[in-house]
Amino acid sequence: MSSLDPKKRGFATRAIHAGRDHKDPHGALTSPIYMTSTFEFETAEQGGARFAGEEGGYIYSRLGNPTLTELENKLADLEGAEACLTVASGMGAITSVFWSFVAPGDEILVDETLYGCTFAYFRHGLEKFGITVRHVDMRDPENLAQEISAKTKIVYFETPANPNMRIVDIKAVSEIAHSVDARVVVDNTYMTPYLQNPITLGADIVVHSATKYLGGHGDLMAGVILSSAEDMEQIRYVGLKDMTGAVLSPMNAFLISRGLKTLELRMERHCDNAEKIAAMFEASSKVEKVYFPGLPSFEQHELAKAQMARFGGMVAFELTGGHDAGLKFLNSLDLCKIAVSLGDAETLIEHPASMTHSPYEPEERAKYGITEGLVRISAGLENATDILADLEQALARV
């Protein structure tokens, strides 16, 4: 394997070097941040040609910006996609995709477990505009095969799902969806391109909350969309430009590019720490159940091994004693921080039922596998011994 072929270089090498196709006139190793809203044209004719799509080049930062372009090229390389679009948040990514491809009378099929705001957008948002949203347990692809029809325009799921770590067979579900010409959209936030590549398994569109692992430092908001060049034309010029306006700032694009340089190193540490946390919880008599794809006891462990390089940095668990025990556990922590989001350097812990998944009604959470006692941990980058010590002393107080 030649190191001279950029496509065959290792992940960390591409995360550092891919996307940049120019040399700075001043010799700067790090690309400048193009903090500009608009771009000047050499002539009026050139401006008209760019607006008409007859000539390439930048017009206005809502449509494109050199700092964003460099990041988008890098992410497309890492995810194995033809095209990438960066936007202002993970929800900006999801809404930009759906406003591009659905219309009144259409149907979308989604998995039973979704991030709370995604659930709210589908059920409390899209349905108001005459779009049918139906939940299907996609852990078994046969369930999708029975429910899908010619009316289905998009099949959407997270894998692993937030917060209970359900896994969906990307390849099998994509084959079923494509039999009726439906697009497959996968939220790959939990895994990142380092651990899982849905497009290579058959998905059409991948979304990320880049606020999480891609940025990696808890200091920005951003979203990512990856797809074919043809689909991206629609998403960029309809979903983003006209429907959401969820434009990413060049400063945040720069910060994500910087974060990507250490993504492989960080993900390895996140995975290592999550495995140790999951093993500790599984051995505790105070923990009723642990949800982590890397445990042999996890129901979908074999599928996880088949489509994920490692098992990620997220762990969910239920304490014996349910809701009250969970809250007491959180309030007993010192090093680990009670906070939503994930993928930061700090270990973060939260209670989904009252926090990230509160948009669900209680009966909906019960129906879709988000119990009142579930606790979610994002394993940080601290020394594992320190994380485990904090978790152990909190367990002792429950």
pLDDT band at 356, cuts 50/70/90? Answer: confident
Write the class of the CATH domain 9-260.
alpha beta
Residue 21 has pLDDT above 90, yes or no: no
Instruction: Give the list of residues 6+ apart from residue 152 with CB closer than 8 angstroms, or none.
Output: 107, 108, 109, 177, 180, 182
Contact 68, 201 (CB under 8 A): no
Cα gap 390→371, rounded to integer Å:
24
pLDDT band at 25, cuts 50/70/90? Answer: confident
Residue 23 has pLDDT above 80, yes or no: no
The pLDDT > 70 percentage for the chain reads 99
| Of the candidate ranges 2-6, 63-67, 208-212, 257-261, the one whose mean pLDDT is the lowest | 2-6
Residues carrying an active site annotation? 62, 115, 187, 212
What is the domain partition of the chain in residue ranges?
9-260, 263-396
Residue 3 has pLDDT above 60, yes or no: no
Cα gap 83→76, rounded to integer Å:
6
Cα gap 70→65, rounded to integer Å:
9
Question: Is there a shared CATH topology between the 9-260 domain and the 263-396 domain?
Answer: no
pLDDT band at 1, cuts 50/70/90? Answer: very low
User: What SS3 state is found at 201?
Assistant: helix
Q: How many CA atoms lie within 13 A of 378 on its CB side?
A: 29
Two structure tokens written together for 162 = 């937030």
Question: Tell me, what's the pLDDT at 92?
Answer: 98
Centre a 10 Å sphere on the Cβ of residue 371 and count the other Cβ atoms it contains. 19
Strands 287-291 and 223-227: unpaired
Mean pLDDT over residues 210-224, rounded? 98
Cα gap 137→277, rounded to integer Å:
28
Question: Tell me, what's the pLDDT at 24?
Answer: 80
In DSSP terms, 337 is beta-bridged to: 348
User: What SS3 state is found at 321?
Assistant: coil
Which tens digits make up the pLDDT trace of 105-132? 999 999 999 999 999 999 889 999 999 9
Stronger pLDDT, 20 or 209, i.e. the higher one: 209
Number of H helices, E strands in the chain: 15, 12
User: Taking Cα atoms as reference points, which of 382, 394, 376 lies closest to residue 314?
Assistant: 376
Q: Which amino acid is at 375?
A: V
Phi-psi region of 133 (alpha: psi -120 to 50; beta: other; left: phi over 0): beta
User: Taking Cα atoms as reference points, which of 122, 25, 94 lies closest to residue 359?
Assistant: 122
Edge-to-edge, what's the strand order for the sheet holding 107-111? 83-87, 223-227, 205-209, 183-187, 152-158, 107-111, 132-136
Architecture in CATH of 263-396? Alpha-Beta Complex (3.90)
Q: Give ∠ CA 69-74-78 in degrees, rounded to 5.
A: 145
Instruction: Give the list of residues 6+ apart from residue 297 with CB closer than 8 angstroms, or none.
Output: 282, 290
Question: Tell me, what's the pLDDT at 372?
Answer: 84
Question: Tell me, what's the pLDDT at 362?
Answer: 85
**Cis amide leading into 32 (omega within 30):** no
Average pLDDT value for the chain: 95
Contact 110, 132 (CB under 8 A): no
Which tens digits make up the pLDDT trace of 154-204? 999 999 999 999 999 999 999 999 999 999 999 999 999 999 999 999 999
